[in-house]
Amino acid sequence: MPEASESRMCPYLRGRRQSQVQPVPSGENHCLVTASIHLPRTQQSRYCLGGHHKTCARFQRQNNQPLPTYVTGVTPAAVTPSPPPPPLTPLIWRRPWFRTLMRLFFIVLIAGLVVWGWHWQQQQVQPRWTPRPPLPTALSVPTPVIDTLFQSPSYSVPGP
């Protein structure tokens, strides 16, 4: 990794055992704002030595606060405040009229389903009084005489 220039380095980055900063990510570098926290090498290369220290959360938190009492001879760097977010129109489901519109929609939907169900049920039910077709006229046809295969019963007293 190429060495970092002084203008790109974070003003709060210092060496632990010597006064000078190591221009490459090293375990000897530490942050003056959080002296007791280990500073990972990836964070050193990305923020502290890479020129992006103004986006570091520690750097931004230190903006208008005094430095810790154990730090001497360092003036805080000026941090430009971030611009305010642009005004955005609220999402449609977060607008005040949307909840009322949804309630009305569901009421109309349920009423429509009830009416449709009643209409469907009326078409399926047969009427209570069903007209019957006229009864057929009776025809007088002589019935044929059937020969009996058994003896006719006797009404006499059975005898000896």
71 and 45 fall within a common domain: yes
Report residue 36 as tokens.
């007791």
Q: From first to last of its 160 residues, what are the pLDDT tens digits of the chain?
A: 445 566 677 777 777 666 667 778 877 777 777 766 677 888 878 888 877 777 887 777 777 666 666 666 566 556 677 888 888 888 888 898 999 999 999 999 999 999 999 988 888 776 667 778 888 877 777 777 777 676 666 676 666 5
Residue 92 CA to residue 69 CA, distance in Å, equals 51
How far separated are the first and last CA of the chain, in Å rounded? 142
Name the burial class of residue 35, with classes exposed (0-12), middle (13-18) and buried (19+) by CB atoms within 10 angstroms of its CB. middle
Q: How far apart are CA 38 and CA 27, in angstroms?
A: 8
Residues 27 and 66 in one domain: yes
pLDDT at residue number 1: 45
Distance CA 68, CA 47 (A): 21
Residues 62 and 120 in one domain: no
pTM: 0.39
Rounded to whole angstroms, the maximal C-alpha distance in the chain is: 154
Q: What is the pLDDT of residue 4?
A: 56
Does residue 154 sit within a domain?
Answer: no
Q: What is the pLDDT of residue 27?
A: 76
Residue of 11, 3, 50 lying closest to 31 (CA atoms): 11
Residues 12 and 59 grouped into a single domain: yes
In a domain, 158, yes or no: no
Cβ atoms of 46 and 52 closer than 8 Å = yes
Within a domain: 96: yes
Q: Strands, E, within 16-154: which ranges?
A: 29-31
Residue 60 lies in a domain: yes
The answer as to whether 132 is a domain residue is no
Domain count, the chain: 2
Q: 31: buried, middle or exposed (CB in 10 Å: 19+, 13-18, 0-12)? A: buried
Residues of the domain holding 110: 92-124
pLDDT in tens, 76-106: 556 677 888 888 888 888 898 999 999 999 9
- Closest residue by Cα to residue 59 from 74, 40, 30, 79: 79
